[in-house]
Amino acid sequence: MRIDVLSIFPSYFDGLTLSLLGKAQDAGILDLRVRDLREWAFDRHRTVDDTPYGGGAGMVMKPEPWGLALDEIAGDVAAGEAGPPTIIFPSPAGEVFTQRTARDLATREHLIFGCGRYEGIDERVFEYASQLGEVRLISLGDYVLNGGEVATMAMIEAIGRLIPGVVGNPESLVEESHEDGLLEYPSYTKPASWRERTVPDVLLSGNHAAIAAWRRDQQFERTRRRRPDLLPSDDAAQS
């Protein structure tokens, strides 16, 4: 998979060279290219923002650098380097990102993330980008960050780990919170007794069917308690 990121703070993404995603890049499974949007701002100060038409607080990102940057990256597509891109703009005004979104985006050949700052990006950029690929405005959740960088990092990590070959043991992907619509069951390791707290007996029993049933119960119990919104309303009502 190819991922391009456009940001005025490219060093945010240095962390993505670490751990599993770093290895995936070394192995050629993930081709991650982070570019500074100011490369496409040509005045003396490399300006990327201006005051909003109609007045109001804050600044808005100018359309011209975005247009040129997207043209150049989409130009790679024309040269046959990658398939038609999915262009994602992180935004608190977008659809909410979930594991389902991550699974969907992990099947794409080419993602472009456009990280906005300030009060946002000139609306015409989204319209223009939709001529180059599928445009998605995606929110990490109902709270406001200072820009799209942290949201993009979270999304790249959630998507990247679903690309085949990135996580060594694919079974570990299945047993995670949200993969089956429930929260994950609790995990324990040695020692069996620690600071007067013991591991549940069933996990030491060697009875695999009993362990599986206990884990499933725990998943429902935790989900009912912490995230009843994830359960069909009948299941949630039984709590």
Of 25, 101, 139, 177, the one binding ligand ADE (CB under 6 A) is 139
Establish if 219 lies at the interface with ligand ADE (CB under 6 A).
Answer: no
Establish if 18 lies at the interface with ligand ADE (CB under 6 A).
Answer: no
Nearer to ligand ADE, 32 or 151 (CB): 151
Establish if 145 lies at the interface with ligand ADE (CB under 6 A).
Answer: yes
The tokens for 171 are 């079974």
Establish if 92 lies at the interface with ligand ADE (CB under 6 A).
Answer: yes
- Residue burial 89-103, b: 16+ Cβ < 10 Å; e: rest: bbbbeeeebeeebbe
Shortest CA distance to 89 belongs to which of 131, 49, 121, 133? 121
Q: Is the peptide bond before 191 cis (omega within 30 degrees of 0)?
A: yes
Name which of residues 148 to 207 contact ligand ADE (CB under 6 A): 148, 151
Of 7, 91, 219, 223, the one binding ligand ADE (CB under 6 A) is 91
Establish if 58 lies at the interface with ligand ADE (CB under 6 A).
Answer: no
Sign of CA dihedral 37, 41, 44, 48: negative
User: Which helix (H) or strand (E) element contains residue 90?
Assistant: strand 86-96
Closest contact distance (angstroms) between CB of 20 and ligand ADE is: 23
Establish if 144 lies at the interface with ligand ADE (CB under 6 A).
Answer: yes
Establish if 85 lies at the interface with ligand ADE (CB under 6 A).
Answer: no
Backbone angles phi, psi at 62, to 5 degrees: -70, 145
Q: Which positions lie near ligand ADE, rule CB under 6 A? A: 90-92, 139-141, 143-145, 147-148, 151
